[in-house]
Amino acid sequence: MNVQLDMSLAHNYHSPSQIARVITEGWMASNMYCPRCGESHLRHFTNNRPVADFYCSRCKNQFELKGKHGKIAKTINDGAYRTMLSRIMSNTNPDFFVMEYRLDFEPHIENLLLIPKFFFTPSIITKRPPLSETARRAGWIGCSIDINSIPDQGKISIVRQGQTISKQVVLRNVGIASRLALNKIESRGWLFDTLSCINKIPNQLFSLADVYSFGDHLARLHPQNHNVNAKIRQQLQLLRDKGFIIFLGSGKYKKANSDSESDTL
């Protein structure tokens, strides 16, 4: 995988947005394999599809690319708010590639993440203000994706600080993350919110009381639930069964971290 961007692809374009689209999509088509099944190349959808940019010819998984020159903020803008919510609720949304690239000096990919589609929940989708009456699409309401609220396990590095992560490691990390795939949106939200809380605990060893300390936070995220501690215990059992934490007994737990993310080419 070559992280350098081919600027010659944009020699017929003048708009900065068109140049960015051509060079980043060109890089993906030439360099990116399918992080789901390992197929050597992704295919670019013909025509401008509103749902996805690329697909895998082997496993048929679809991908959307979001790129930015410079550092990605905590949120990234996406399409229509209602359309995005509908996609999430029906599980038809694609996986997301989130790309940071540089165009100064030597144009290259600085960071590239994969966010599998099952990490998307309605709580991370925020409504943007409607376009003004003078806009071409007056009243249109877009959305933003709060990627900062997605657990670390759902942000899988492919390129990190200009260095590629080995394909084997990426596929393994995607496989590990796939243990968290849940079809029910309500169950998905609780599981990921609890996992995010555990990620914030600085120590490898933690207690049930440590997770209970996030009770008020979780109650605000899930106001319809009136027995938060019982729900927390349920999520800990699920995370244990899926291999993300280890139960040590007497209300004590250990994070089951993988060392694979440190492997790079």
Per residue in 193-227, pLDDT tens?
A: 999 999 999 999 999 999 999 999 999 999 999 89
Per-residue pLDDT, 159: 98
Question: What backbone torsions phi and psi does residue 132 show, to the nearest 5 degrees?
Answer: -70, 165
Per residue in 229-256, pLDDT tens?
A: 999 999 999 999 999 999 999 999 999 9
- Can you list the positions of beta strands (E) in the chain? 43-44, 54-55, 62-69, 75-80, 95-102, 108-115, 125-127, 142-146, 156-160, 163-164, 205-207, 245-249, 252-255
Q: Specify the pTM.
A: 0.90
Closest by CA to 51, choosing from 13, 15, 90, is: 90
Confidence band of 185 (pLDDT split at 50, 70, 90):
confident
Structure tokens given for 94? 């694609």
The region, left, alpha or beta by phi > 0 then psi within -120 to 50, assigned to residue 257 is beta
Closest by CA to 87, choosing from 53, 113, 121, 126, is: 121
Confidence band of 47 (pLDDT split at 50, 70, 90):
low
Mean pLDDT of 132-149: 92
Mean pLDDT of 4-33: 93
SS (H, E, C) 33-50: CCCCCCCCCCEECCCCCC
Per-residue pLDDT, 261: 43
Task: Tell me what percent of the residues of the chain surpass a pLDDT of 70.
Answer: 95
Per residue in 100-121, pLDDT tens?
A: 999 887 999 999 999 999 999 9
